[in-house]
């Protein structure tokens, strides 16, 4: 049997008074007003009295409402017993309109994803809302904000929903979110010190750093950048936080094993972690200053870039290396 794919977007059955909601005009009564559907409430019927269409005197109601038009409207009366919702256009402020547009667009995206998941796994849409979307609205303010987190770190959000949500539903939800809500990859970095005080130490360091880069893959490439000897930063970008941290950990392990075979040393100064855009810029500025200090009169200034070992030249990598 086909699942029921009809459901309101929010847990509350009726909107609150003074809330801005998105409506679609169904029909117009020239004498009384307009009959509308509340799109976020499973097309619940509402009514805009003619006196609530405009602050100005109306010459023609059709200049203010048109059948089929979708626009915000403000709730000013709710009768849950009779199921009546009265709305107003004239009481809307520009801020109400903007907030309603933003909320509706996010809610519509969430609803589309939830509906597709319900159809794919053959489950009633309201059941999915009860177990997933409505709890996320409560916890994150809007389910769309939770979906953004799921796109990059699904366990952080979905583990709190278990066991009500099956693995099949989780996998389908994650797949749809990542397809419909593309996000910027997470930037993950680790800071390491690599030294080698033996003959051909420069060569051994470069070989060890190449081993680190080789630990990456197409989905999670690893890059190494020289900051100031012996400090290097190892980075990757990925949509999967767990995978990114795991890959960087493996990269550091491979680098450590390689340099220790050559009687060198690797010390982890900062373990793999996600860095925000603000932190990333802060690190880049700090590393730029360190680069200036370490370059002396040569005036070399470099911001951190994902350019790989091309930046690890023999002369710079060899600073601080003592040849026996």
Return the CATH number at 45. Answer: 2.40.50.140
The mean per-residue pLDDT over the stretch 4-13 comes to: 97
| Percentage of the chain lying above the pLDDT 70 cut | 85
Higher-pLDDT residue of 152, 132: 132
Question: Could you tell me if 193 and 288 lie in one domain?
Answer: yes
Co-location of 253 and 290 in the same domain = yes
Structure tokens belonging to residue 11: 């847990």
Least reliable range by pLDDT among 26-35, 105-114, 177-186, 241-250: 177-186
Compute the half-sphere exposure of residue 101: CA atoms within 13 Å on the CB side of its CA: 8
d(CA 51, CA 57): 9
Among 180, 195, 220, residue at a domain's last position: 180
103/217 same-domain check: no
Give the domain range for residue 144: 96-180
Quick: pLDDT tens for 216-227.
Answer: 998 899 999 999
45 and 84 in a single domain? The answer is: yes
Dihedral angle, C-alpha 54, 55, 57, 59, nearest 10 °: -20
pLDDT of residue 239: 77
Residue 184 predicted with pLDDT over 90? no
Is 300 in contact with 290 (CB distance < 8 Å)?
Answer: no
Task: Provide the CA 174 distance to its chain's centre, in angstroms.
Answer: 12
Count of domains in the chain?
3
The CATH number for 131's domain is 1.10.150.190
What CATH number corresponds to the domain at position 231? 3.30.70.1130
Paired with 266 in beta bridges are: 194
- Cα separation, 254 vs 65, in Å, equals 67
When pLDDT is cut at 50, 70 and 90, the band that residue 59 belongs to is: confident
d(CA 143, CA 151): 12
pLDDT at 277: 65
**What span, in angstroms and rounded, lies between the C-alpha atoms of 321 and 316?**
10
Q: pLDDT tens for residues 284-305?
A: 677 666 554 443 433 333 344 4
Q: How confident is the model at residue 311 (pLDDT cuts 50, 70, 90)?
A: very low
Min mean pLDDT across 34-43, 151-160, 274-283, 307-316 is at 307-316
Query: C-alpha angle with apex 280: 278 to 282, nearest 5 degrees?
Result: 70
Per-chain mean pLDDT for the chain = 87
How many angstroms separate the CA atoms of 221 and 250, rounded?
12
Query: Is the CB of residue 272 less than 8 Å from the CB of residue 190?
Result: yes
Three-class DSSP category at 297: helix
Q: Are residues 275 and 176 in the same domain?
A: no
Quick check: pTM over 0.75? no
**What is residue 307's predicted lDDT score, i.e. its pLDDT?**
39
Residues 295 and 215 in one domain: yes
CA 40/CA 43 separation, integer angstroms: 7
Q: Tell me, what's the pLDDT at 297?
A: 39
| Secondary structure, 3-state, 200-236 | CHHHHHHHHHHHHHHCCCCCCCCEEEEEECCEEEEEE
Q: Do residues 63 and 30 lie in contact, with contact meaning Cβ atoms separated by under 8 Å?
A: no
Helices (H), 89-224: 94-121, 125-128, 134-140, 143-152, 154-158, 167-180, 201-214
pLDDT score for 310: 46
- Which tokens in the block code for residue 219? 């989905």
Q: Residue 313 pLDDT more than 70? A: no
């Amino acid at each position: 049997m086909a699942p029921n794919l009809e459901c309101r977007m929010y847990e509350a059955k009726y909107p609150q008074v003074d809330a801005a909601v998105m409506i679609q005009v169904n029909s117009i009564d020239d004498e009384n007003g307009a009959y509308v559907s509340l799109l976020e409430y499973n097309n619940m019927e509402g009514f805009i009295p003619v006196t609530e269409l405009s602050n100005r005197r109306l010459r023609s109601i059709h200049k203010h409402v048109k059948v089929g038009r979708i626009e915000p409207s403000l709730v000013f009366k709710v009768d849950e017993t009779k199921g009546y919702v009265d709305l107003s256009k004239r009481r809307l402020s520009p801020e109400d309109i903007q907030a309603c547009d933003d909320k509706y667009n996010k809610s519509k995206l969430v609803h589309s994803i939830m509906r597709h998941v319900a159809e794919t796994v053959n489950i009633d849409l309201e059941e999915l809302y009860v177990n997933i979307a409505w709890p996320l609205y409560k916890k994150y303010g809007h389910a769309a904000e939770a979906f953004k987190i799921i796109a990059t770190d699904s366990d952080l959000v979905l583990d709190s929903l278990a066991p009500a949500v099956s693995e099949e539903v989780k996998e389908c939800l994650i797949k749809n979110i990542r397809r419909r809500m593309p996000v910027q990859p997470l930037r993950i970095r680790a800071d390491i010190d690599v030294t080698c005080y033996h003959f051909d130490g420069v060569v051994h360091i470069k070989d060890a750093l190449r081993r680190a880069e080789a630990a990456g893959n197409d989905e999670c490439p690893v890059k190494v950048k020289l900051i100031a000897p012996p400090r290097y930063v190892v980075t990757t970008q990925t949509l999967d936080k767990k995978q990114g941290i795991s890959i960087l950990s493996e990269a550091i392990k491979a680098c450590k094993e390689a340099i220790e075979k050559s009687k060198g040393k690797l010390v982890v100064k900062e373990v793999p972690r996600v860095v925000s855009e603000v932190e990333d810029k802060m690190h880049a500025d700090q590393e730029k200053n360190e680069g200036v200090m370490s370059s002396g009169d040569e005036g070399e200034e470099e911001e951190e870039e994902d350019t790989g070992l091309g930046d690890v030249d023999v002369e710079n990598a060899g600073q601080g290396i003592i040849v026996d």
